[in-house]
Amino acid sequence: MSKGIKEIPKLTVDALLTENRVFKPSAEFTKQANVKNDSLHKKAAKDRLAFWAECAEKLDWFKPWDKVLEWKVPFSKWFVGGKLNASFNCLDRHIKAGLGNKTAIFWEGEPAGEQKIISYDEAYKQVNKLANVFKSLGIKKGDRVAIYMPMIPEAAYAMLACSRIGAIHTVVFGGFSADALRERMNDAQAKLLITADGGYRRGKVLPLKDIADEAVAGAPTIKHVLVVKRAKNNITMHEKRDLWYHELMGKAKDFCEPEHMDAEDVLFILYTSGTTGKPKGIIHTTGGYLTGVTNTMQWVFDLKSKDVFWCTADVGWVTGHSYFVYGPMANAATQVMYEGTPDFPERNRFWKIIEKYKVTIFYTAPTAIRAFMKWGTKWVEDCKLTSLRLLGSVGEPINPEAWIWYHLNIGKQKCPIVDTWWQTETGCILIAPLPGITATKPGSATKPLPGIETVVLDDDGKEIKEGGGILAIKSPWPSMLRGIWRDPERYKKTYWSRWPNTYFPGDGAKKDEDGYLWLLGRVDDIMLVAGHNISTMEVESALVDNPIVAESAVVGITDELKGQAIAAFVILKEGNNPSEESQNILKAHVVKKIGAIARPEKIIFTPELPKTRSGKIMRRLLRDIAEGRALGDVTTLADASVVESLKSKYEDKEG
Ligand code: 6R9
């Protein structure tokens, strides 16, 4: 029955796609796993606060806390009265434990042959010096420092040096424009910007300093710009304002006393885009955040001292904060840091890196996996990936077929896959398998971690025991956001106003008969087709299930009869031709996988999809294109020309 085009969708999802494959952990993996049984779950269920307190004890505290949690909805304080320092936990304590010689970072530059091997001793020295440089520039506890850097070790040093002196860092992804950088520096009222002359991306130099100059021209709070010499491209140094990193580091002392920070002192602000308008400055504090990332690193990634961990995320995203800088370094991990793109100089660069550094744990995003699928397995075949023992995925729902591809071609059927659901706001992973004990189902992030209380609710806040609805979190957790910078009202409204005392993450979710969670994308991506709420993600997965499809993005478009109809943008795997026949095959395939209700009205073949710089598909924009509306805000597009070409293609078809 048609509900008409004006009706606002009720956000309960008709979860239609089914996936029956189950992968049990091998006895061999379980035997060696950090988490071998359900004792953590039991502890957390018995006394959640005592459980989190035990987790926090894995950190080094200068002063223990007086109270585990103070909860005045929606404002939480964790480990109240405790004192610690993040850089001390990521560096000093490892040196004290005799791990100074251990490799902290295998850094690989994009140009051939560039590499650096950085020990914990070396990282410690650089961070201490940089902390002294910051101090000499007048940076004090509580001041904001903006970081706009390529993927070079100095980016991590800068974050840790801020935390050493209690300055608040705000990292802005190096792919962002001058406008985006300026807006974030102004909102944070940053005093110092640290950047580089340039960075390498796909064989070209990205002129970071030029972009930074344009941004700083409209950012009156910035007093100094500290510049790392990386690409040696020509830049202009503004007298007095701009300073060379290497010059000041050359003069700086080797030791800087770590500031004793309150558990609730702000560690960083990280901006994340809202569904509309102004980015939100998500606030994370010291004690709770570090507790979350340190423990999840051990549980979900099963990290051991001998592992070589590689998280491919840029430091500009929360994944780079939690699972490149703070989580792994708090655990004294050895990691890979790579500056460039996966297809430079060839499409096997990632696999070459895994082979070279003998990476054991590899953490990447579905968008990358789908690109690898599109390029084909020939790029993987001649690389030795035998060091790998665990794979991870983050950033979007992973389509079952992409999961299987990852399992077969990268994991060679022997590596567990951890599909990790979390957000900038949650600070650390909240829903994921524990690889030694959780049987996985391709496409499901499985179950919440110990201490995390999730439910699936309908619009009215009624719990859905089995079926589709909206994900919600019932109680606070240590690494949760503490607010939105300078905007507590927006914090309350965005996350805490949908249901009483419950966190609203904004994701659709389905709970299956085994209690497994299937994340279905943002609720604003749910389509209402003839009265059925259909998740774009399910239709995309059905399309990707067809062997000719590499990637797809599905949107709902206005339809007079059905309310909304389904439009699918499809990237074909190399060697397949876009044709009417393929359109019909794909429509029939979706009908077979999901049902006639999900039959796409339109299939549009395209070489690329518009994505945000963090790799998330911009469905709003596709909707605008599919419905022929104005293009809207494209400031977060990785490549705005993609949209233009898509648009003209679509318009051509529509005549
Ligand atoms: C870590 C990160 C958060 C949003 C989140 C959800 C989507 C992330 C996911 C996932 C399904 C997963 N998301 N991981 N959806 N399965 N494993 O990506 O943070 O950039 O803030 O994005 O990403 O929609 O709400 P962030």
Instruction: Check whether 387 has a pLDDT greater than 70.
Output: yes
Specify the residue with its C-alpha closest to ligand 1, atom 10: 396
Residues 463 and 536 in one domain: no
The phi, psi pair for 154, rounded to 5°, reads -60, -25
Specify the residue with its C-alpha closest to ligand 1, atom 4: 423
């655990």: which residue's tokens? 331
Nearest atom in ligand 1 to 398's CA? 16
CA of 476 to the centre of ligand 1 (A): 19
pLDDT of residue 622: 86
Q: How many CA atoms lie within 13 A of 439 on its CB side?
A: 8
Residue 554's CATH number = 3.30.300.30
Helix (H) or strand (E) holding 281, with range, is strand 280-285
Asked whether 396 lines ligand 1 (CB < 6 A), one says yes
Chain mean pLDDT for the chain: 91
pLDDT of residue 466: 95
Instruction: Check whether 515 has a pLDDT greater than 90.
Output: yes
CA of 191 to the centre of ligand 1 (A): 31
Q: What is the pLDDT of residues 152-170, one digit of tens each?
A: 999 999 999 999 999 999 9
Residue 327 lies inside a defined structural domain of this protein:
yes
pLDDT of residue 8: 40
Residue 646 lies inside a defined structural domain of this protein:
yes
Residues 410 and 542 in one domain: no
Helix (H) or strand (E) holding 31, with range, is helix 27-32
Mean pLDDT of 256-270: 98
**Which residues make Cβ contacts (< 8 Å) with residue 37, sequence separation at least 6?**
437
CA of 420 to the centre of ligand 1 (A): 8
Q: Which one of 284, 444, 519 would you pick to mutate in the ligand 1 pocket, going by the greatest count of ligand atoms within 8 A of its CB? A: 519
**DSSP result, 530-550:** TTEEEEHHHHHHHHHTSTTEE
- Amino acid at residue number 167: A
Residues 491 and 551 in one domain: no
């009908």: which residue's tokens? 591
**DSSP result, 208-259:** HHHHHHHHHTT-TT--EEEEE-SS-----PPTTTEEEHHHHHHHS-S--PPP
How many CB atoms within 10 Å of residue 454?
21
Asked whether 314 lines ligand 1 (CB < 6 A), one says no
pLDDT of residue 640: 59
Specify the residue with its C-alpha closest to ligand 1, atom 19: 423
How many CB atoms within 10 Å of residue 346?
11
Of the candidates 472, 496, 520, which is a domain's last residue? Answer: 496
> Distance between CA 433 and CA 296 in Å, rounded?
11
pLDDT of residue 246: 98
Residue 269 lies inside a defined structural domain of this protein:
yes
Residue 8 lies inside a defined structural domain of this protein:
no
> Distance between CA 394 and CA 377 in Å, rounded?
22
pLDDT of residue 652: 42
> Distance between CA 34 and CA 450 in Å, rounded?
14
Residue 382 lies inside a defined structural domain of this protein:
yes
Specify the residue with its C-alpha closest to ligand 1, atom 3: 423
pLDDT of residue 6: 33
Residues 547 and 482 in one domain: no
CA of 619 to the centre of ligand 1 (A): 15
Nearest atom in ligand 1 to 432's CA? 17
Residues 489 and 532 in one domain: no
**Which residues make Cβ contacts (< 8 Å) with residue 544, sequence separation at least 6?**
370, 399, 400, 401, 402, 550, 551, 552
Residues 452 and 558 in one domain: no
Nearest atom in ligand 1 to 521's CA? 24
CA of 316 to the centre of ligand 1 (A): 15
Q: Is 135 exposed, middle or buried (0-12, 13-18, 19+ CB in 10 A)?
A: middle
Asked whether 430 lines ligand 1 (CB < 6 A), one says no
Give the CA-trace dihedral at 337, 297, 393, 429, to 10 degrees.
Answer: -120
Specify the residue with its C-alpha closest to ligand 1, atom 16: 397
Asked whether 126 lines ligand 1 (CB < 6 A), one says no
Q: Nearest to residue 87, comparing CAs of 164, 191, 179?
A: 164
**Which residues make Cβ contacts (< 8 Å) with residue 277, sequence separation at least 6?**
none
Spatial contact of 525 and 455, defined as CB atoms under 8 Å apart: no
CA of 481 to the centre of ligand 1 (A): 15
Instruction: Check whether 37 has a pLDDT greater than 90.
Output: yes
CA of 423 to the centre of ligand 1 (A): 5
At 433 the three-state DSSP class reads: coil
pLDDT of residue 16: 67
Asked whether 424 lines ligand 1 (CB < 6 A), one says yes
Residues 477 and 556 in one domain: no
Instruction: Check whether 10 has a pLDDT greater than 70.
Output: no
pLDDT of residue 524: 76
Residue 365's CATH number = 3.40.50.12780
Structure tokens at 408: 């077969």
Asked whether 420 lines ligand 1 (CB < 6 A), one says yes
Instruction: Check whether 174 has a pLDDT greater than 80.
Output: yes
3-state helix, strand, coil in the chain (%, to 5): 35, 25, 45
Cα 212 to chain centroid distance, Å, stands at: 24
Give the CA-trace dihedral at 197, 201, 202, 203, to 10 degrees.
Answer: 20
User: Total domain count for the chain?
Assistant: 2
pLDDT of residue 647: 57
CA of 422 to the centre of ligand 1 (A): 5
List the Cα angle 291/451/366 in 5-degree steps: 80
Residues 147 and 248 in one domain: yes
pLDDT of residue 2: 34
> Distance between CA 111 and CA 93 in Å, rounded?
34
CA of 616 to the centre of ligand 1 (A): 9
Q: Which one of 369, 394, 611 would you pick to mutate in the ligand 1 pocket, going by the greatest count of ligand atoms within 8 A of its CB? A: 394
Helix (H) or strand (E) holding 162, with range, is helix 153-165
pLDDT of residue 104: 98
Mean pLDDT of 363-384: 92
pLDDT of residue 12: 62
Of the candidates 478, 496, 514, which is a domain's last residue? Answer: 496
Mean pLDDT of 208-232: 98
Q: Which of 177-191, 192-206, 526-540 has the lowest mean pLDDT?
A: 526-540
Q: Tell me which residue range forms the domain holding 398.
A: 22-496
Residues 222 and 91 in one domain: yes
Specify the residue with its C-alpha closest to ligand 1, atom 22: 423
pLDDT of residue 639: 62
Comparing 613 with 133, the larger pLDDT belongs to 133
Nearest atom in ligand 1 to 445's CA? 17
Residues in the chain: 655
Asked whether 421 lines ligand 1 (CB < 6 A), one says yes
Residue 207 lies inside a defined structural domain of this protein:
yes
Q: Which one of 282, 391, 396 would you pick to mutate in the ligand 1 pocket, going by the greatest count of ligand atoms within 8 A of its CB? A: 396
Of the candidates 452, 478, 496, which is a domain's last residue? Answer: 496
Residues 461 and 538 in one domain: no
Spatial contact of 619 and 611, defined as CB atoms under 8 Å apart: no
Spatial contact of 454 and 517, defined as CB atoms under 8 Å apart: yes
> Distance between CA 116 and CA 293 in Å, rounded?
26
**DSSP result, 567-612:** EEEEEEPTT----HHHHHHHHHHHHHHT-GGG--SEEEE-S---BB
Residues 538 and 448 in one domain: no
Specify the residue with its C-alpha closest to ligand 1, atom 1: 423
Comparing 63 with 20, the larger pLDDT belongs to 63
Residue 567 lies inside a defined structural domain of this protein:
yes
Distance set, CA 212 to CA 147, 156, 215 (Å) = 10, 19, 5
Q: Nearest to residue 330, comparing CAs of 131, 172, 120?
A: 120
Asked whether 152 lines ligand 1 (CB < 6 A), one says no
Specify the residue with its C-alpha closest to ligand 1, atom 23: 395
> Distance between CA 596 and CA 587 in Å, rounded?
9
Sign of the Cα torsion 454, 278, 86, 71 reads: negative
pLDDT of residue 289: 98
pLDDT band at 180 (very low <50, low <70, confident <90, very high): confident
CA of 521 to the centre of ligand 1 (A): 8
- Amino acid at residue number 57: E
Asked whether 432 lines ligand 1 (CB < 6 A), one says no
Instruction: Check whether 574 has a pLDDT greater than 90.
Output: no
> Distance between CA 616 and CA 605 in Å, rounded?
19
Residues 462 and 544 in one domain: no
Residue 621 lies inside a defined structural domain of this protein:
yes
**Which residues make Cβ contacts (< 8 Å) with residue 459, sequence separation at least 6?**
10, 11, 12, 470
Q: Which one of 421, 524, 538, 541 would you pick to mutate in the ligand 1 pocket, going by the greatest count of ligand atoms within 8 A of its CB? A: 421
CA of 312 to the centre of ligand 1 (A): 15
Mean pLDDT of 232-249: 98
At 350 the three-state DSSP class reads: helix
Nearest atom in ligand 1 to 319's CA? 1
């500290």: which residue's tokens? 226
pLDDT of residue 19: 80
